[in-house]
Amino acid sequence: MYTFYYLFRAHRLIVASGSRYMLEVFMKYSVEDLPRVRVPYPFNQKNELHSDDQVSRILKYLYANQNINVIRDEINDENFYSLYAQAHSLSCERLLDDLRELAVTSLLNDKTAMKLYLDAIEHQDKKILKACTLVIIERFEEICAQEANTEHLLELDIKNLLSILKSDKLNLVNEVTLVELVKAYTELRDKIPKKLPQSAEERAGPELWALLTEDEKKNRTAIFKEEEEKLQSGKQQLQLKTKIKQQISF
């Protein structure tokens, strides 16, 4: 197994027992044809460093009969995300279960709840998401008082933010806190250019698209392409007119 910088020697049987990704790779190739296997790099890294130490840590876990206790003292709120992301990319299901339990029982508090919440959204982890939501609702006032957490709240999409704010159990002592948060969120969203759909499927949305027949999909796709061509043509004409006016003014 190798990463960008390191080569890790490991027994296929042990690695395959704890990583579904590696098991599928080993099943795909014969022993003779099996190349050096490259460890998949985690997706959506949020510009965070994913050290090769995490691969080493995962191997340590696998060689200890998948016992989380052998690496428990090495895991903290600073490196949890990168370890989880690497385990996710390798499809280490048991390790992911252990990490979920660790996050919920040991790492989750008012200082880490928002970051773990965002990470859970990214990886669609329902267990961590549910636990984080409860903490955020119960300690909303304290969480909003921390600048880093406020920044994380502003990163949420409207659906997730409303799911928190609409809770009957929201711990809110001072309504000014809520007003200022909503104001900051609205001002930030006003500055973000509206994202236009890049395809007929995006415009329709996944639920509607799934209900369409193949002919309806083709028709909508053709209409979308035609509208896009007209839009691009209009932009080009506008740019040309602007350029001509600038030249005339000189």
Please, which residues have CB within 8 angstroms of residue 85's CB and are 6 or more apart in sequence? 42, 43, 44, 45, 50, 123
Whole-structure pTM over 0.75, yes or no?
no
> Which pLDDT belongs to residue 44?
53
Chain segment 168-192, per-residue pLDDT in tens: 999 888 888 888 888 888 887 766 6
Distance CA 119, CA 129 (A): 9
Q: How far apart are CA 138 and CA 113, in angstroms?
A: 11
pLDDT number for residue 155? 87
Q: Which residues does 152 contact at the CB level (< 8 Å), separation at least 6? A: 114, 115, 117, 118
Cα(178)–Cα(184) distance, integer angstroms? 10
pLDDT score of 2: 62
The reported pLDDT for the residue numbered 123 is 87
Structure confidence by residue, pLDDT tens digits, 98-147: 999 999 999 999 999 999 999 899 888 999 999 999 999 999 989 988 88
Per-domain residue ranges of the chain: 12-199, 200-250
Q: Distance between CA 245 and CA 22 in Å, rounded?
A: 62
Nearest Cα to Cα of residue 154 among 188, 124, 123: 188
Question: For residue 8, which of 83, 60, 44, 68 has the smallest C-alpha distance?
Answer: 60
Q: What is the CA radius of gyration of the chain?
A: 25
- Check residue 3 and give its pLDDT: 64
Low-confidence ranges of the chain (pLDDT < 50): 45
